Structure 1
Amino acid sequence: MSKMLPCVILAGGLGTRLRPVLGEGLPKAMASVDGQPFLAWMLRWLEQQRVTDVVLSLGYGCGAITGWLAQQSLGLSVTIIEEDKPLGTGGAIMHALRTCGAPQMIVLNGDTITDIDLGRFADFFEMSGADLAIAATRVPDASRYGTLEFDAASKRLIAFEEKRPVQAAGFINAGVYAVDAARLLGFDLPERFSYEDDFLRRQIGNLDMRVFPEITEFIDIGIPSDYERAQQVVPLMCERSAHDT
């Protein structure tokens, strides 16, 4: 396995849908899951996967996160990047790439945890020679997400299929990316934009994007029903990850 890539966690969102649960001022990353902040579970999961360098991209509620971090003893290095104003997922990624200077990075959403093997994902990205890689999971009903269409052999992304009213199984974007910094920073992009809608969908013809379709379990705590489910699921996922490493 190649050296583990540094990881960027996008944790600057407003968490509007979870506001009734969180209360004002608390970011999603600090939402309590089985008595601990969700971010604590994410960092533990990354440490279990031998990640050594983490960059936290923060915005809304950053004081709550930095205050909590100051009280922790962590087994990995955490660098904080603060957004002066909301940049969207795309702007936050570009800001992190410019600030950190790493040639390649893995990008994670701060409200999502999966069972991805990050070492295998990094190796897949390196061996493919792609500009970026997207981790995907197959779900029985992809109608609410939209799906990824990709070549079965090369795993090269062909298209982002729009959401459809008919229930059908398909592979969906799980919100984990491996990116080549120089390639992405070469684009002339606005300061604030959506990584998936404003960039990925529009650059399929210009970028070599590969799909890593090996996530079997993921949970996004941004929706109250999934946040409730996370109370049991996230500790179990971290326990399995510890046994697998």
Structure 2
Amino acid sequence: MKAILLSGGFGKRLKPLTDYLPKPLIPIYNYPIIEWQIHYFKKFGINDIIVCAGYKADQVIKHLESKNLGVHLEYSIETDPLGTAGAIKKASKYIDAENFFVINGDILTDIDLNKLKTHSNSIAVIPLRTSFGIVHLNGTKVERFEEKPEMSDYWMNAGIYYLNTDILKHLPKNGNLESTTFPFLSQSGMLYAVKYDRVFWKSVDSYKDMEECELLIKTNKYEKFIFSR
């Protein structure tokens, strides 16, 4: 079993930090994002990891090779941005098993990967999380405020996938999964969703996200989860 880390983005919303440091190496509560992700996969017994790197890839490789992370790493380097689908297609030469995991390069989570293996070509989904507070009304009167609730009737893509190698023939050389391959698979009845409720999940895309992620790591005791056996 192998996992692909999609870590080739520019991290434009994290400028000027990412002018000097690639997004995967941004530190969040003691560890760079990419190290959290590697240890996350190790937690579930996945020790063969393909790193898709693009922007400042040399820094990413140099950092990882200087660490003793206890995993086997391979690198798929993008000289030009390929999108999530294109990155997987380029990295597919390293895939030698029937199924493999994929995670977007800015996500920290405790989602149970074993549950995701129920079906090939599955995506993890979580309740939609609004970044705004909700006002509950009774007619024109305000009853109460609810701060950043989960919208339990709506599900969002958590950016974690369990894919079959059959998908590779449907991947474009350049483009994103969400706008190319996934719509085709869903229309063909070949794409599954696994629901996760009340999980730790955070995408780091801004300075505010960094602050919120560190707080969530503390409150959810995420470090203990990751490093416990």
* TM-score, scaled relative to structure 2: 0.82
**Alpha-carbon distance, 1:38 to partner:** 1.4
Larger deviation, residues 72-81 vs 228-237 = 228-237
The answer on whether the counterparts of 1:56 and 1:78 sit within 8 Å (CA) in structure 2 is yes
| 2:146 maps to 1:134 | no
Q: 1:176 aligns with which of 157, 160, 179?
A: 160
Partner residue, 1:227: 210
Aligned alpha-carbon RMSD (Å): 2.2
**Alpha-carbon distance, 1:77 to partner:** 1.0
User: What are the within-5 Å matches in structure 2 for residues 128-207 of structure 1?
Assistant: 130=120, 132-141=121-130, 168-169=151-152, 170-181=154-165, 183-187=166-170, 189-207=171-189
* 1:179–1:108 Cα change, 3 Å: same
Alpha-carbon distance in structure 2 between the residues aligned to 1:117 and 1:68: 27
The answer on whether the counterparts of 2:39 and 2:226 sit within 8 Å (CA) in structure 1 is no
The answer on whether the counterparts of 1:8 and 1:107 sit within 8 Å (CA) in structure 2 is yes
| 2:214 maps to 1:214 | no
Alpha-carbon distance in structure 2 between the residues aligned to 1:26 and 1:226: 17
User: Which one has a bigger Cα radius of gyration?
Assistant: 2
User: How much identity, in percent, do the aligned residues show?
Assistant: 24
| 2:2 maps to 1:6 | yes
**Alpha-carbon distance, 1:51 to partner:** 1.2
| 2:26 maps to 1:44 | no
Alpha-carbon distance in structure 2 between the residues aligned to 1:142 and 1:105: 32
Partner residue, 2:108: 113
Runs of 5+ in structure 1 lacking a partner? 144-166
Q: 2:63 aligns with which of 43, 62, 68?
A: 68
The answer on whether the counterparts of 1:28 and 1:222 sit within 8 Å (CA) in structure 2 is no
Partner residue, 2:12: 16
**Alpha-carbon distance, 1:207 to partner:** 4.5
Alpha-carbon distance in structure 2 between the residues aligned to 1:102 and 1:207: 23
**Alpha-carbon distance, 1:211 to partner:** 0.6
Alpha-carbon distance in structure 2 between the residues aligned to 1:23 and 1:88: 19
Runs of 5+ in structure 2 lacking a partner? 133-149
**Alpha-carbon distance, 1:168 to partner:** 4.5
Alpha-carbon distance in structure 2 between the residues aligned to 1:185 and 1:23: 31
